[in-house]
Amino acid sequence: MAAGGDDLRPLRLPADSLFLGFDCSTQSLKATVLDADLTVVAADSVHFDSDLPHYGTDGGVLRDPAERGRIVSPPLMWAEALDLLLGRFAARADLRRVAAVSGSAQQHGSVYWARDAAASLAALDPARPLAPQLAGALAAPEAPVWMDSSTAAQCREVEAAMGGAARLAAVTGCRAHERCTGPQIRKVYQTRPAVYDATERVSLVSSFMASLLIGAYACIDETDGAGMNLMDISTRQLRQDALQATAPNLEEKIGRLAPAHEVPRKISPYFVQRFQFASSCLVVQWSGDNPNSLAGLTLSSPGDLAISLGTSDTVFGITDSPEPSLEGNILPNPIDPKTFMVMLCYKNGSLTREDIRNRYAERSWDVFNRLLEATTPLNGGKLGFYYKEHEILPPLPVGYHRYVVKNLSSGSLDQMVEHEFDEFDHPSEVRAIIEGQFLSMRGHAERCGLPVPPKRIIATGGASSNTLILKSMASIFGCPVYTSQRSGMCRAYSSPLNNVLVPVSINSASLGAALRAAHGWLCNQQGEFVPFSCVYSGRSERTSLSMKLAVPFVDDEKNIELLNNYTLLVKKRLEIEQKLIKRFGQRE
Ligand code: ADP
Ligand code: XUL
């Protein structure tokens, strides 16, 4: 077996093989295909709202008008998206070449399988689409997703039973956040006991999708499993006390947890017959979208910080000595069993930026960017706190709050004062949301022990295509910002187009899943775990994995002075957050 380290020579992947990675995120199902040289040869996506309008989702989710904060998605929509995307690939390419498949999915969401669902999964008819065959296999037609914030009562109960929020965070990797799967399951048990009783197995979105592919219940992987408040972060096993604090008979409903690199099974006959996969095609454990992004960005240096600007905004890095906190999440690193991933998650990401764009910038990113450029860094002390959704960090309900901070030039927090404001001029609103989000990320990242200032930031997610947004990120964090190649040309691999370059957009989570598929294939071939870098080492510069510098950071006098002023604004912002929590918040 190869030893660890970056100078590893890559292990050979079979010539002509392909590796398929999915990302079942909040708004879409995306897929990336890599060849044996790790070049992206195809990418595609199904957008839930527009491609599957019959599910009636908005941004991929359904909001319950009868219960504030209850946000769900239909699992059958994800199954139908899988069918649709594979149908498109099968029409263009020879899926027999796919040696392994893996995937990524939004974290925390829970799917409730009915009794005997395993039998339905094993007996799918390849002549018929997937979704209608699964309708009877679900104990509930809807899955609560990560955006749900209706479990505050269950969070308090679980924390109390586990000896408090800090202890729960120390043993499971995070306190009980509303989106965590344990409190979500407890709510189903308490409020819909018939659904809970009828449930044979609870899957996360990741293991639900893997179950479809293997035609049996797939294990929850240890990385995504850390977002449940049920797994011991040190032993990576379910904890009896946490299971008991959540719901009865839960252990059998969750099943065994497995490492992210485990190769559970071969692809099921349904996919072999319907889409012509080889029956030898391996299905590698699916995991969460943030862990897969970590893999796709090949994040391996503790000085690097990744910031994902998707539906949620997340900030993450790696460490070998994680410090549990009340704000962040600690997860096992999906590609290195010896280290951990530390992550912050914001619910007000892209959809809230879009709301400000729609209100103040004519619904256009071009206008938004023009307004951003028309304002100066620091925004004249204007600070915005925009919560279109009930926020996780800080825990605050829906509401927009605006302040103007005076005396920033005094250089002292004591002399700075703030005044509440109703609404800023349009350009200032635009700068206030962008600067506000990054000031918050910097302040909270520092409190969770993430590297601040980082050596560099690697930005990903939909909004990372906006260089002006990244420019603000670089000034506030005081470091250069890199992006993975978000888009580029790839060789078409269907026969009439062979070797013709076609444009694709590359998503880091599905790219990470495709790399994890290749890694799982190698682990299976070697009969043991091999370091993840064996997949890409020595060839990342030549492939779709290479990073490019999006915004440099020059540490001249002007930029350092600006950075120092941002440091003061970070402190002021955290102070105002505390005041807002006292006024509106529901938690300590
Ligand atoms: P997810 O994977 O969570 O479904 P994505 O990472 O695909 O989401 O990001 C989608 C978001 O990207 C959209 O909601 C949109 O607001 C944002 N986005 C796309 N282009 C831009 C842009 N030029 N500037 C800012 N945000 C953008
Ligand atoms: C992470 C989280 C979100 C989802 C959305 O804890 O809840 O980032 O994974 O994709």
pLDDT digits (tens, 9 = 90+) for 67-82: 999 999 999 999 999 9
- Which ligand is nearest to the Cα of residue 223, counting in written order? 2
Question: Cα 266 to chain center, whole Å?
Answer: 26
Q: What is the pTM of this model?
A: 0.93
Asked whether the CA dihedral 122, 75, 487, 309 is positive or negative, the reply is negative
**Total residue length of the chain:** 588
Residue 588's pLDDT is 45
The separation between the first and the last C-alpha atoms of the chain, rounded to the nearest angstrom, is 50
**Residue 267: DSSP 8-state:** P
> Which ligand 1 atom sits nearest the alpha carbon of residue 106?
3
Determine the distance separating the centroid of ligand 1 and the alpha carbon of 27, expressed in angstroms.
10
Q: What is the pLDDT of residues 132-149, one digit of tens each?
A: 999 999 999 999 999 999
Q: Lowest-pLDDT range, 9-23, 38-52, 270-284, 490-504?
A: 490-504
Among 58, 23, 22, 16, which residue's Cα sits nearest to residue 37? 16
Determine the distance separating the centroid of ligand 1 and the alpha carbon of 312, expressed in angstroms.
10
Which residue's CA is minimally distant from atom 10 of ligand 2? 106
Which residue bears the tokens 């927009």?
400
Determine the distance separating the centroid of ligand 2 and the alpha carbon of 66, expressed in angstroms.
24
Structure-token pair, residue 363: 């619904």
Domains 55-88+106-266 and 350-483+554-584 share a fold: yes
Q: Which fold has domain 55-88+106-266?
A: Nucleotidyltransferase; domain 5 (3.30.420)
- Which ligand is nearest to the Cα of residue 433, counting in written order? 1
Asked whether the beta carbons of 257 and 187 are under 8 A apart, the reply is: no
Which residue's CA is minimally distant from atom 26 of ligand 1? 463
Distance CA 404, CA 401 (A): 11
Distance CA 299, CA 236 (A): 22
Pocket test for ligand 2, best of 26, 73, 104, 146 (most atoms within 8 A of CB): 146
- Which ligand is nearest to the Cα of residue 468, counting in written order? 1
Asked whether the beta carbons of 129 and 83 are under 8 A apart, the reply is: yes
CATH code for 350-483+554-584? 3.30.420.40
Which residue's CA is minimally distant from atom 11 of ligand 1? 462
Which residue's CA is minimally distant from atom 9 of ligand 1? 462
Pocket test for ligand 2, best of 24, 27, 289, 391 (most atoms within 8 A of CB): 289
> Which ligand 2 atom sits nearest the alpha carbon of residue 26?
10
Q: Delimit the domains of the chain by residue range.
A: 55-88+106-266, 350-483+554-584
Average pLDDT, rounded, for the chain? 92
Determine the distance separating the centroid of ligand 2 and the alpha carbon of 405, expressed in angstroms.
32
Among 231, 252, 243, which residue's Cα sits nearest to residue 332? 231
- Which ligand is nearest to the Cα of residue 507, counting in written order? 1
Q: Check whether 1 has a pLDDT greater than 50.
A: no
Which residue's CA is minimally distant from atom 27 of ligand 1? 463
Lining residues, ligand 2, CB within 6 Å = 25-26, 106-108, 146, 179, 227, 288-290, 312, 314, 329, 345
Indicate the pLDDT class of residue 495, thresholds 50, 70 and 90: very low
Among 59, 43, 103, 63, which residue's Cα sits nearest to residue 79? 103
Residue 42's pLDDT is 86
Lining residues, ligand 1, CB within 6 Å = 25-28, 310-311, 350, 353-354, 365, 461-463, 465-466
Within the chain, what is the greatest distance between any pair of CA atoms?
A: 72
- Give me the half-sphere count of Cα atoms (radius 13 Å) on the Cβ side of residue 336: 21
- Which ligand is nearest to the Cα of residue 509, counting in written order? 1
Residue 545's pLDDT is 67
β partners of residue 304? 456
Q: Check whether 279 has a pLDDT greater than 50.
A: yes
Which run of H or E residues covers position 28? strand 28-35
Pocket test for ligand 1, best of 311, 351, 370, 511 (most atoms within 8 A of CB): 311
Indicate the pLDDT class of residue 150, thresholds 50, 70 and 90: very high
Determine the distance separating the centroid of ligand 1 and the alpha carbon of 249, expressed in angstroms.
40
How far CA 262 is from CA of 266, 286, 523, in Å, comes to 12, 9, 8
- Which ligand is nearest to the Cα of residue 28, counting in written order? 1
Angle value at C-alpha 373, between 371 and 377, nearest 5 degrees:
110
Residue 191's pLDDT is 98
Q: Check whether 5 has a pLDDT greater than 50.
A: no
Determine the distance separating the centroid of ligand 1 and the alpha carbon of 36, expressed in angstroms.
29
Determine the distance separating the centroid of ligand 1 and the alpha carbon of 148, expressed in angstroms.
20
Distance CA 312, CA 23 (A): 14
Which residue's CA is minimally distant from atom 21 of ligand 1? 463
Determine the distance separating the centroid of ligand 2 and the alpha carbon of 343, expressed in angstroms.
10
Q: Check whether 10 has a pLDDT greater than 80.
A: no
